[in-house]
Chains A and B, each alone.
Chain A
Amino acid sequence: MGLEAKLNQDGFITTTVDAIVAWSMKNSVWPMPMGISCCAIEMMASGDPKYDIARFGSEVMRFTPRQCDLMIVAGTVTYKMSHVVRKIYDQMPDPKWVIAMGACTSSGGMYRSYNVVQGIDQFLPVDIYLAGCPPRPDNLLNALIQIQEKVGRTKVREFTNKPMPELTVLQNN
């Protein structure tokens, strides 16, 4: 069977690598659920049948960063915890995105005090700030849709030949 006959029989589409990769990535975003306080309860609720995060292809919430490409930081980040959050972020493979879920994560929220980081953008690159205290699950889904739009605009070459992050090794504990 020749090529013409084969294509005639099975059908084909033409596209670019960027388009097909971005399309597949945006419909299979795997979140890293970094739940630290009350926002995490709302994040869990977004996985229940009523809100059903699975219809976005994003239900794969495993508590390991190895295959994740979206970190949802849900909760109050203290200075002591910030090193843990950053370490987990560094362990996620590129390309990756971050949602700062809720008032505490985005700005310290009502905890204007010595121990709470006044916004995780002080140590992480944030893509979406999500308002609310805590935000409703549908608000989180809205942020997820916005992340999908951003992922859809991604070019493959932006993420080729990126250097490995420097991982700090904990000395004790």
Chain B
Amino acid sequence: MTINELIESKLKENFKDVGFTFTTYLDELTVSFNKKNIVEVCSFLKTNPELEFLLSEDITAIDNATRKNRFTVVYHIFSLKNKFRLRLKCDVDESDCNIDTVSSVWKTADWQEREAYDMYGIKFNNHSDLRRMYMPEDFEYHPLRKDFPLLGIPGSLSLPKK
């Protein structure tokens, strides 16, 4: 049994009512599912002794612009035990732009989620300290959204007096 098949069977067996979509591209496995199951799936992947995805490498988002579920939150996690990298994807709609935090599973998610919040404006529920990371705190836009102009909005960032 390959590691791809192992993950697939483990997830299907433990979460019977969650609709997973498994896609493989260039031997990389991606799992998509509903955002409301994110915390339980993540903590299962971390704590299961055969999988042990102990490292959250990156949390980011994709802005699909015109699609119905506008954003996709992407998690890159790594199993040191299996030397295997897994990608999780959850769709988030603009009208309900939030997803539960996984910082209770991986501590480092605290900062990674703040980055996604700063750049895309996705709120992470129950996050202990959801502040901007790169942009000034009083900045009101989210620069990596597709509708944000590349050259910015004039006057939205302050300059010192000359």
Which A positions have Cβ atoms within 8 angstroms of B? 79-80, 82-83, 85-87, 112-115, 117, 122-125, 168
Contact = CB atoms under 8 A, between A and B. Distances in A.
A85 B151 CA distance: 22
A122 B160 CA distance: 9
Contacts of B151: 112-114
B162 interface: yes
Interface residues of B, number: 16
Contacts, number: 44
Given A114-B143, A115-B143, A79 B159 contact: yes
A122 B152 contact: no
Contacts of A87: 160
B158 A114 contact: no
Contacts of B161: 86, 123
B157 interface: yes
Given A80-B135, A115-B157, A124 B148 contact: no
B159 A114 contact: no
B150 interface: yes
A86 B149 contact: no
30 contacts: A79-B136, A79-B157, A79-B158, A79-B159, A80-B134, A80-B135, A80-B157, A82-B160, A83-B160, A85-B160, A86-B160, A86-B161, A112-B151, A113-B150, A113-B151, A113-B152, A114-B143, A114-B151, A114-B152, A114-B153, A114-B157, A115-B134, A115-B135, A115-B152, A115-B157, A117-B159, A123-B159, A123-B162, A125-B162, A168-B160
Q: Is the interface of B mostly helix, strand, loop or mixed?
A: loop
Contacts of B153: 114
Interface in B112-162: 134-136, 143, 148-153, 157-162
Nearest to B152: A114
Q: Which 9 A-B pairs have the closest CB atoms?
A: A114-B152, A86-B160, A79-B157, A123-B160, A123-B159, A83-B160, A123-B162, A82-B159, A122-B159
Given A80-B134, A114-B151, A115-B152, 4 more contacts: A86-B161, A114-B143, A114-B157, A122-B159
